[in-house]
Amino acid sequence: MMVTEERLPGWRSACTRLFDAPIDIAALAAFRILFGTMMALGMARFLAKGWVRELYVAPAFHFTYPGFEWVRPLPDFWMHAHFAALVLLAVGIALGCFYRVCVVLFFLGFSYVELLDQANYLNHYYFISLISGLMILLPAHRAWSIDARRAPPLRASTVPAWTLNLLRFQVGVVYFFAGLAKVNADWLLHAQPLRLWLAARSDLPIVGPWLSEQWVACAASWCGAIFDLTIPFLLLHRRTRAPAYVAVIVFHISTWLLFNIGMFPWIMMVAALVMFPPDWPRALASRVAKHFGGTSISSSPTCTDVTPLPRWGIALLAAYAVVQLALPLRPYLMPQPPAWTGRGFNLAWQVMIVEKTGFVEFHAVDPESGQRHRLSAKEYLTPRQEMMMAQDPQLIRDFARHLSSEMKRRGQSAVQINVNAYASLNGRPSQPMINPAVDLAGPVSPDWIVPLVR
Amino acid sequence: VSSLLAAAFIVAVFLLDSPGAWAEGSPLLRVTREAVLRDTVGKVIAPASRELLAKSRDLTNALGGLGFSSSADALTKARQAWMATMLAARVVQGYEAGPLTDRDAAAAFSFSQILPGRITGVLNSTRPLTATHVEELGSPAKGLFALEYLLFGPRTTETGAAKAASPADMLASPQGSRLVAYLKLLAHDLEARAAHVAGDWSAADGAAKQFIAGGQESINTLVNQLAMHLEVAAENRLGFVLRLPEPIARQYQRVECSASGSSQQSVRALISGIERYYRGGDGAGLDDLVNQLNPALARRIEAQFAATLFAVDLLAAPLEDVVVKDRAALQDAYDKARALEILFKVDLASTLGVTITFSSNDGD
Q: Per-residue pLDDT tens for B73-128? A: 888 899 999 999 999 999 999 999 889 988 888 888 988 888 888 888 888 888 88
Interface test with chain B among A61, A195, A253, A433, by most B beta carbons within 10 Å: A253
Residue of A196, A253, A376 lying closest to B353 (CB–CB)? A196
Residue A208 has what pLDDT? 81
How far is the alpha carbon of A98 from chain B, nearest alpha carbon, in Å? 34
The model's confidence at residue B359, banded by pLDDT at 50, 70 and 90, is: very low
Cα–Cα distance, B292 to B286 (Å, whole number): 10
The one-letter amino acid at A15: C
- In three-state secondary structure terms, A422 is strand
Q: Structure pTM?
A: 0.83
Show the beta-strand stretches assigned E in A171-288. Answer: none
Residue B28 has what pLDDT? 42
For residue A159, which phi and psi values (nearest 5 degrees)? -135, 160
Q: At what angle do helices B295-315 and B286-293 cross, to 10 degrees?
A: 140
Sign of the CA dihedral A200, A203, A209, A211? negative
Q: What is the pLDDT of residues A46-104, one digit of tens each?
A: 999 999 999 999 999 999 999 999 999 999 999 999 999 999 999 999 999 999 999 99
Cα–Cα distance, A217 to A277 (Å, whole number): 35
Using CA atoms of A346, A451, B331, B356 in order, give the dihedral in degrees to the nearest 10.
Answer: 20
A316 close to A323: Cβ distance less than 8 angstroms:
no
Helix residue ranges per DSSP H, B203-318: 207-213, 216-231, 240-243, 263-279, 286-293, 295-315
Q: Do A374 and B361 touch (CB under 8 A)?
A: yes
- Expressed in percent and rounded to 5, the helix, strand and coil fractions of chain B are 75, 0, 25
Interface test with chain A among B22, B244, B360, B361, by most A beta carbons within 10 Å: B360
Closest C-alpha among A159, A168, A318 to residue A232: A168
Question: Quick check: B343 pLDDT over 60?
Answer: yes
Percent pLDDT > 70 in chain B is: 85
Q: For chain B, what is the mean pLDDT?
A: 84
User: C-alpha distances in angstroms, A293 versus A288, A290, A297, B4, B24?
Assistant: 9, 5, 11, 21, 49
Sign of the CA dihedral A379, A385, A387, A391? negative
Question: Quick check: B155 pLDDT over 90?
Answer: no
Cα–Cα distance, A212 to A258 (Å, whole number): 13
Q: What's the rounded mean pLDDT across residues B276-294?
A: 93
The one-letter amino acid at A205: P
Residue A419 belongs to what H/E stretch?
Answer: strand A416-425
Cα–Cα distance, A16 to A9 (Å, whole number): 10
Q: Which residue of B has its CA nearest to A381?
A: B359
Q: Which residue of B has its CA nearest to A217?
A: B293
The model's confidence at residue B4, banded by pLDDT at 50, 70 and 90, is: low
Q: Do B7 and A249 touch (CB under 8 A)?
A: yes
Q: What's the rounded mean pLDDT across residues B126-134?
A: 82
CB atoms within 10 A of CB A230: 16
B240 contact partners, CB below 8 Å, separation of at least 6:
B254, B255
Positions in chain A whose pLDDT score sits under 70: 1-9, 295-305
For residue B60, which phi and psi values (nearest 5 degrees)? -60, -45
Cα–Cα distance, B255 to B232 (Å, whole number): 13
Residue of A196, A356, A387 lying closest to B351 (CB–CB)? A196
Q: What is the largest CA-CA distance in chain B?
A: 91
Q: What is the pLDDT of residues A2-40, one digit of tens each?
A: 444 445 567 777 777 888 899 999 999 999 999 999 999
